[in-house]
Chains A and B, each alone.
Chain A
Amino acid sequence: MHKQENKVGSFQWLLLISVFVVATCGLIYELVAGTLASYLLGDSVTQFSTIIGTYLFAMGIGSYLSRFLKSNLLGWFISIELMVGMVGGFSAGILFILFEQVIYFRVILYTLVVLTGTLVGLELPLLMRILKDRIEFSDLVSRIFTFDYIGALFASLLFPLLFIPYLGLLRTSFFFGFLNVVVAWIVAYRFRNEIRRYSQLKWSAIVCLLLLAAGFILSEKLTAIAESLTYPDKVVYARSSPYQRIVLTRSAMDWRLFLNGNLQFSSADEYRYHEALVHPGLAQMKEPKHVLVLGGGDGMAVREILKYTSIETITLVDLDKVMTDLFQSNTALMKLNEHALRSPKVRVINTDAFVWIREHQKTFDFIVVDFPDPSNYSLGKLYTMSFYRELYRILAPQGCMVIQSTSPYVAKKSFWIIDSTLRQAGFLTTPYHCYVPSFGEWGFVLGYKEGLSQQFNFPKDLRFVNGETVTQMESFPPDMRVAESPYNTLNNQVLVNTFEKEWADYTR
């Protein structure tokens, strides 16, 4: 008799624990969907509100549908739990991969929410019916709902505090799917004598577990697949070098190069950027012979420089060998830079520009400085007075140099800090800017020691720069000017701090 009671006790506790797990998992799936939707579609209030509403409504549907299940309730309960585990567990992964299909995205999203909600909604009524003959009804209702709500609290606290920070969305949902299935299996095993087709359920559980475990392990691969989806066009090349993530995309219109997710050029309009970078300075030089390019591993600036026949040597210093190799070996890309990096006049050096320049003695007639924007302290060092002083030292007396100087419209303080830093380092400067459709308004600063000739000898085949454009480029409307600028040094890094703030304000 005692033994019998014990058996009933463990029977109901197991089922109640599974209520707890189902409730936890259910809420987690709901939160995953809400988080995903607010990440992807923005407006988190709306997203969370509609997802929670839909989810609760779907639970209602589930509860209603439960009446149509007449027999083998325990078997159904376990099967539904397996399904919840699978649908919920894979929901984040599915949404993750499909989110590029914006048009259908909401459909997929709400379908998954409705499906999960319905399945979870089926479970409680089923469970109550399973237990109704074994436990006093008032006890039953009290226990089931207690466990249900504790599970909800558990999930809602752990989700933001533990799971998202440590596991991430994808792994969290796989993890709970896994948990769901494990509980289903345990219940099935415990009641293997009372349900039909135990072995079928067992094998389904094993398959589910394997799939979910694989999903968990392959989450990182999934993020990689998803990365390719963050780019609007087809990713044709992606590689991480020790310094950056290089991604190349291609559409019917153009090729695009992204470094760490930032657009470096679009083949459709890069000629504007690179012509503006090179020619206003170089075309004023008499018989330039030796040119230095810092950064610019794509070879586009070199392509422009090679248009001057007097050029004897071009030294390209770029930190990233992966970049320069790519643009020296890939046929499509070499077509873009017109095999510039393979020219016998070009010498490519893969090293840190600051370290290299401090040890370099020979002077150059023209210097192109084409670094990424000063978005971190490492890059910020390449925009300091110390660095510009080193440049001053290796610039020929009649020489000239040009610096890509971010957008004078978006980051106008930053732009003028670069100008003021160059002046502080001893340069005379001419700031200018032009419009590059894929970038927006973009700025450059010319630095020189003795004044420039103002006589332009442009190469013949330029598409953008001529005498007239140069005049236009040198004029700054009031919304791109500032009164006074500090200068950037290694010990103040004022540029990085300013730049960060300006772009953050702009993209907010």
Chain B
Amino acid sequence: MISRRKFVKHSMQAAAGSSLLLSALQSCKQPAAYPATLVGPNARLGHMLRSGKFEEPSEGSNADVLIIGGGIAGLSAARYLKKYTDNFILLELGDETGGNAIAGSNAITAYPWGAHYLPLPGNNDPELIAFLREANVITGYANSLPVYNEYHLCFDPKERLYINNFWQEGITPREGVPEKDRHEIERFLALMHDYKDQRGSDGREAFAIPVALSSQDKKYIALDAISMEQFLAQNGFTSPYLRWYVNYCCADDFGSSLTDTSAWAGIHYFASRKGKAANASSDTVLTWPEGNYWLVKQLRKDLEKYIKTNTLVYAVDATNSGVTVLYFDAAANKTKKITAQAAVLATPQYVNQRLLNPNLKRTLDYSAFQYAPWMVANITLDASLDERKGEKLCWDNVIYGSDSLGYVNATHQQIGFHNSHTVITYYKPLPGRDVKKLREQAYRSTIEDWKNIALQDLRKPHRQIENHIKQFDAWVWGHGMIKPVPGFITGETRAQTSMAIQDKIYFAHSDMSGISIFEEAFYQGHIAIRKILERNLLKV
């Protein structure tokens, strides 16, 4: 009885398989037609900065503090500032705030266009913990450990790796990996785990988030002088499986590869995350269908009236009485001027270079800031993906051997019944030394190019993926993430970046940390405001 039922089930699967084959054959004949668009970012306003001549502003206003840039750093600054003054403005170039953490949505689900998760944070940044409590991400404490809101903790099953024609659970290569390589991977992870607990001679954590709180002990600083590849070689790590895995991790956090990531940063990836939870294992992450855009919405909940979007700041100058900022208001189609006691430039350094009046003499080697370009694709599917053997669809799905980060399933955090319709977000960093060339290449690429790159990769585990695609959208981040190339994090340039100009112009951006993650941007944001408060620049 059971064997008969099983038999019918098998036959039906086989029949279904055959109809897939037929439809695949059909699709060979006529390429599937589905809309594909290159979505963003809207570069029109930004490009005016390079080319445009602006009229002398006709209107002016003033504020205590002006924040330029509505990414995580700018929003964090605004959130913190709001506790002290009501008289501030945040200017954002884009249609909306969120920076690298913005998101899109369609009839099926919201989905991220960039940053999409937050590892459980440690205790180094009390302001971040306070924010997570405000947002009810942390719902309370038990045994002096934070209790996280279960709806925001990544649901099980979390991640899988496609390796040797099989989906294994977890991302560290294991399935079909020779014993020698497995041992090497274990040895590497044990070494990283050691670093996690280490402290320098100055008593600070060897590797901390925020980066600023890490130990200055020479022993660790020295690691920034070499690349992650050199570090692996020096420690006798040669396994190709391990090298792929570490390279994947560099790409995940920095958009870079083994050769152009400093060993300090590479180790930081493994050794800095020390968050614990009362109700989850410490390697859990917080995530939402729309990715970190959910956090953006929480950050700006009470900030809407201070935010002006579609505004292009084109000049920042310090005066005797404060700061003057000139900007183009795209909605009003006119230039305007704001004077303030202080300004926070929550913008990356390559933008600051163009905004700041050259007379301000900010002697910074801007060329030291290298940004990795990225492509992110959101692929809408109208049926479950055809699967290979092993673990079922997870939140994070990685393909061994690929130089992409694989894809994330946007509907994973939905509590409702699993729907076969979903959106998957495919992440592709563009690694290489010549970032400028890569960026130009990326901007030149068409949607067809991106489609080919993504699908060639995704067809490995999902042969029939193209039959299920309803929509393919891509987004090119020209300056996706600051790259912690060897020497950058402990270098002179980075140290100078946070120095304010005449105690009036302050800086806040994750590129100042050398690592482009939510925690760093958030930290830089409220630290900049803290400095302003310390100077008593506000009439509080």
A-to-B contact residues, CB < 8 Å? 36, 39-42, 96, 99, 164-171, 219-220, 223, 226-227, 229-230, 232, 243, 261, 319, 352, 354-355, 358, 376-378, 381, 384-386, 489-493, 507
Contacts and interface: CB of A to CB of B under 8 A. Distances in A.
Given A40-B4, A491-B150, A165 B155 contact: no
Interface of B: 1-15, 17-21, 150-151, 153-158, 279-280, 284, 392, 415-418
Contacts of A220: 15, 19
Given A39-B3, A223-B8, A385-B150, A352 B18 contact: no
A489 B12 contact: no
A166 B18 contact: yes
Contacts of B416: 352, 354-355
Given A99-B4, A166-B21, A232-B1, A491 B14 contact: no
B269 to A, nearest CB: 22
24 contacts: A36-B7, A99-B7, A165-B17, A166-B17, A167-B18, A168-B11, A168-B13, A168-B15, A170-B14, A171-B18, A220-B19, A226-B8, A230-B8, A261-B5, A352-B417, A354-B415, A358-B415, A377-B155, A384-B150, A386-B151, A490-B415, A491-B154, A491-B158, A493-B157
B155 A223 contact: no
B156 A492 contact: yes
Contacts of B280: 489, 491
B446 to A, nearest CB: 34
B153 A378 contact: no
A341 B154 CA distance: 38
A160 B287 CA distance: 42
Contact of A168 (B3, B18, B279): B18
Nearest to B285: A491
Nearest to B280: A491
Query: Which of B20, B21, B153, B156 counts the most chain A CB atoms within 10 A?
Result: B156
Contacts of A36: 7
A223 B15 contact: yes
Contacts of B157: 377, 493
B11 A96 contact: yes
Contacts of B20: 166
A91 B76 CA distance: 71
A507 B2 contact: yes
A378 B417 contact: yes
B3 A40 contact: yes
B10 A39 contact: yes
Contacts of A354: 415-416
B150 A227 contact: no
A39 B7 contact: yes
A377 B418 contact: yes
A97 B200 CA distance: 75
Contacts of B284: 491
A228 B14 CA distance: 18
Contacts, number: 106
Nearest to B158: A491
A219 B155 contact: no
Contacts of A489: 150, 153, 279-280
A219 B18 contact: yes
Contacts of A355: 415-416
Contacts of B158: 491
A381 B14 contact: no
A243 B419 CA distance: 9
Given A39-B3, A355-B415, A377-B418, A165 B156 contact: no
Contacts of B8: 223, 226-227, 229-230
Contact of A226 (B3, B11, B392): B11
A221 B494 CA distance: 69
A490 B18 contact: no
Contacts of B279: 489
A329 B154 CA distance: 42
Given A170-B14, A377-B156, A377-B157, 7 more contacts: A39-B6, A167-B14, A355-B416, A377-B418, A386-B415, A489-B280, A493-B156
Contacts of A229: 8
Contacts of A243: 417
Contacts of B15: 168, 170-171, 219-220, 223
B153 A490 contact: yes
A490 B3 CA distance: 34
A373 B20 CA distance: 30
B284 to A, nearest CB: 6
A169 B17 contact: no
Contacts of A170: 11, 14-15
Nearest to A221: B15
A40 B3 CA distance: 6
B417 A319 contact: yes
B16 to A, nearest CB: 8
Nearest to B284: A491
B236 to A, nearest CB: 36
A96 B6 CA distance: 13
A167 B153 contact: no
A220 B9 CA distance: 12
A165 B155 CA distance: 32
A226 B6 CA distance: 12
A243 B18 CA distance: 23
B155 to A, nearest CB: 5
B4 A386 contact: no
Best-buried of A170, A219, A227, A490 by chain B (most CB within 10 Å): A490
Contact of A230 (B4, B17, B18, B154): B4
Nearest to B151: A386
A30 to B, nearest CB: 18
**4 tightest Cβ-Cβ pairs between the two chains A and B:** A168-B14, A39-B7, A493-B156, A378-B418
Contacts of B18: 166-168, 171, 219
Nearest to B412: A377
A376 to B, nearest CB: 7
A232 B2 CA distance: 11
